[in-house]
Amino acid sequence: MNFELSEDQRLLRESFARFLDQHSSPERVRAAAAAGGFDPELWQGLAELGAFGLRVPEADGGVDMGSMDAAVLMEEAGRTLASGPLAETLVAARVLAQLGGEAQAELLAQVIGGEKVLSLAFADVAEASVQWVPGGAVADVVLARRGDAVLLVDAGGDGRGEPNLASTALAELDLSGGHILLGEGEAAVSCLLGALEEWKLLVAAALSGLSREALRQAAEYACERVAFGQPIGTYQGISHPLADLIVDTDCGKYFTWKTIHDIDKGLTGTGAQISMALWWCADTAARAVAQALHTFGGYGLSTEYDIHLYNLRAKDWPLVLGDPARLLEEAGRRLYAGEQVALPEVGAVSIDFDLGDDARAMARELDDFLNATLTPELRAKAHFSFDGFDAGVHKKLAEAKLLFPAWPRDVGGREAPPYVVNALGRVWEQQGWSTHAASTTMLVGTMIRHFGTDEIKREVLAKIVSGDVICSLGYTEPGCGSDVFAAQTRAVREGDAWRIDGSKMFTSGANIAQYVLLLARTNPDVAKHKGLTLFVVPLDSPGVEVQAVHTFGDERTNITYYDGVRVQDAYRLGEVDGGVRVMAAALELEQGGGFMRSQFAMTEAAEELCKELQRNGRPLIESPDAQARLARSRLHAELAEVIGNRALWAKVEGQPNLAYGPMTKLFSSEKFLADARDLLDLTAPHSLSKREGPAGELNLAYRHAQASTIYGGTSEVLRSQIAERNLGLPRTRA
């Protein structure tokens, strides 16, 4: 797996970034807007840097780079609001080179050299002879389709522009006039249609760059602007929406990259991914610039502040194609109605989203093991929670060294690298077998390995390794919620042991576990986060009471009471009053995942149900509305997966951790919840039933999703972490 640009791409980005910072400054953008939305000096400078020949073959005078390289340029163009039809010229120049031949060599050289401006028409001229063209006010020629022919159309004279929302060179042109035939037939038309698809990806990349810069400016302002005696960035009403949007922005960026990657690899479904990438980035940009401007308050409305430029340009770029909602409908048709699409030739791609051969091999081993082990009776018992636990299966997994594969071999593991472990997690989800018991036990075992005494390693870790015991987590208390460091459960030293008194809430699995990792207050006279210690408490100890708490998600959790429970000091993890250090490691492990597999499974259940249900005498799956909503749910799962992979890659490569784990969990859980609600609505009233099959699966997914934004770190806590670590905003918690 590789999320890093190649060295050449980094140099490309740095070169264009330096140029655009100077020549597409806010002052220059304003000047271009006042002059009709075009900056001839900027355009010529881009030509000298080779921008317009980026996608043109070397034999035709270009530099023959790929779509990924063009996307890198477009991200910088978006960040700096570069004026002119850049994305259009990039893709149209390639088509001109492919179809124009010697007859158009001079024009191509002029386009590459910045002497003439070439733009792109989106609609078939046979159906819409008059249409809006990006850069149409300054374009010399426009590439267009008329039926099965590809044409070069003379764009006409001067004075074609008119005032518009973002003061760009957009113009409504009559393309029925003089033209030159470039090519006819399926191959020629496919070449042009592929360019239009690439345009969508390049505009998506530009919008992701625009969104990130708008949010950066808003975060910077929120750190500087003081209200009521403190920076406004300390208020969650300011920081939390920005946190949501930086997650959405990263989702769009990396999904666009992944789509280019998947086209290069010849994977299926990429036509729909193109539509979804632009829809997502357009929607995100619209929300990002609105929230960024809102952060500036009244000043954001002033033309003296740059943020309004981002607000207007975020709408101008994608809306030239029409209502972005049509892109989601288009994705739905491509996914569920068999609509075919001409794909662009994207060139070589260095980024990689593959987990590798070792991951595939071990995933097959686990899949084979579960297929051989899980009888129909066991599968009927399966559940997403601890309720699906089976001690026999757990023991067999331990014996096969598949229970804790990342651990060293001398403690029952395989020393499996993170990519392999990630692949195994996908198998667990696809098989529908709960990992709750294995995951929490792994977490406790890891804490014991790193912080435990020799005695607890001999007495507890050995049983964990053999698969004879499982563990639960005792963090939350009835009055503390997500503020685990406000714990009031007391631990008082009594000789070589500790007396524990108090209670814990939501101790899931405690009714079947043998041990609980318990956070207790050992010093009430210091700051709340300094006087805490972690213990591994045997749940069969005198004074422990486990009381059931049933949820409407068909999941049992527990409240646990500790009345004079004695725990040997050897069962303490880490230093006395040093629980925060141990807890931080535990929370890092817990907050790194998401609900992607549940999202995919839910979407697949909805797809099946939509095939079965009839609306107006036809299967619901044929409805454009249903197709669009299913496409959106599938997109959310894809987005969650790609930023989850980004978090995994960053950890493996030792990249700075800018709250990538919390970003994954926040996005995945929030979209799981939103889509569960929407798909329940879409398939109602059948989805109200708990009957076996897709209706019952959707029903359970809706109830399951309600908890996903709470456990493993509530969304509010995660938003604060993201705001602070990714956007540099001040702490929002005292």
pLDDT tens for each residue of 95-148: 999 999 999 999 999 999 999 999 999 999 999 999 999 999 999 999 999 999
Can you give the CATH number for the domain in which 296 is found? Answer: 1.20.140.10
Mean pLDDT to the nearest integer, 223-246 = 96
733 pLDDT more than 80: no
219 pLDDT more than 50: yes
High-pLDDT (> 90) share of the chain, %: 90
Alpha-carbon span 217 to 223, nearest angstrom: 10
Q: In terms of residue numbers, what domain contains 489? A: 471-590
Dig out the tokens for 507 from the structure.
């101790």
Q: How many domains does the chain have?
A: 4
Which of the listed residues 162, 191, 220 is the one where a domain comes to its end? 191
Mean pLDDT to the nearest integer, 374-389 = 92
683 pLDDT more than 90: yes
* Closest among 243, 46, 302 to 716, alpha carbons compared: 243
Helix (H) or strand (E) holding 652: helix 624-653
Which of the listed residues 530, 556, 590 is the one where a domain comes to its end? 590
HSE of 530, CA atoms in CB hemisphere, 13 A = 4
CB 32 within 8 A of CB 170: no
Residue 41 lies in a domain: yes
Q: Which pLDDT value is given to residue 119?
A: 97
473 pLDDT more than 80: yes
DSSP state, residue 459: I
CB 196 within 8 A of CB 120: yes
Mean pLDDT to the nearest integer, 75-83 = 98
Same domain as 177, residue 39 = yes
Same domain as 30, residue 11 = yes
Q: Which pLDDT value is given to residue 734?
A: 45
Phi, psi (degrees; rounded to nearest 5) at 523: -145, 105
For residue 189, what are the β-bridge partners? none
Residue written as tokens 């041990």? Answer: 515
Same domain as 605, residue 534 = no
Which of the listed residues 590, 622, 648 is the one where a domain comes to its end? 590
* Closest among 94, 93, 95, 97 to 117, alpha carbons compared: 93
Can you give the CATH number for the domain in which 492 is found? Answer: 2.40.110.10
Same domain as 167, residue 77 = yes
Same domain as 504, residue 566 = yes
Confidence band for 588, pLDDT divided at 50, 70 and 90: low
Residue 438 lies in a domain: no
Residue 200 lies in a domain: no
Same domain as 304, residue 246 = yes
Residue 626 lies in a domain: yes
Q: Which pLDDT value is given to residue 157?
A: 59
CB 349 within 8 A of CB 3: no
Alpha-carbon span 412 to 305, nearest angstrom: 60
Phi, psi (degrees; rounded to nearest 5) at 614: -110, 135
Same domain as 31, residue 59 = yes
pLDDT 10s digits, 280-326: 999 999 999 999 999 999 999 999 999 999 999 999 999 999 999 99
Longest Cα separation, the chain = 97
Dig out the tokens for 229 from the structure.
């005696």
Can you give the CATH number for the domain in which 49 is found? Answer: 1.10.540.10
pLDDT 10s digits, 552-581: 988 999 999 999 999 999 999 999 998 888
Alpha-carbon span 463 to 468, nearest angstrom: 5
Residue 698 lies in a domain: yes
pLDDT 10s digits, 532-555: 999 999 999 999 999 999 999 889
Mean pLDDT to the nearest integer, 267-271 = 97
Rounded to the nearest 10 degrees, what angle do helices 86-100 and 105-112 cross at?
160
CB 646 within 8 A of CB 3: yes
Q: Which pLDDT value is given to residue 488?
A: 92
Mean pLDDT to the nearest integer, 156-184 = 89
Residue 350 lies in a domain: no
CB 487 within 8 A of CB 518: no
Residue 180 lies in a domain: yes
Residue 365 lies in a domain: no
Same domain as 685, residue 557 = no
C-alpha separations of 683 from 319, 324, 651, 679 in Å: 31, 25, 40, 6
Alpha-carbon span 658 to 666, nearest angstrom: 14
Same domain as 623, residue 488 = no
pLDDT 10s digits, 618-631: 999 999 999 999 99
Q: Please tell me the total number of residues recorded for the chain in this structure.
A: 734
639 pLDDT more than 70: yes
Q: Which pLDDT value is given to residue 589?
A: 57
Same domain as 536, residue 519 = yes
Same domain as 522, residue 619 = no
156 pLDDT more than 90: no
Q: Exposed, middle or buried: residue 603 (CB in 10 Å: 0-12, 13-18, 19+)?
A: buried
CB 31 within 8 A of CB 45: no
Same domain as 262, residue 287 = yes
Phi, psi (degrees; rounded to nearest 5) at 557: -120, -170
Residue written as tokens 């977490």? Answer: 443
End-to-end CA distance of the chain: 39
584 pLDDT more than 80: no
CB 240 within 8 A of CB 294: no
Q: Which pLDDT value is given to residue 291?
A: 98
Higher pLDDT among residues 593 and 470, named by residue = 470
Composition of the chain by helix, strand, coil, percent to 5: 55, 15, 30
* Closest among 285, 271, 344, 276 to 319, alpha carbons compared: 285
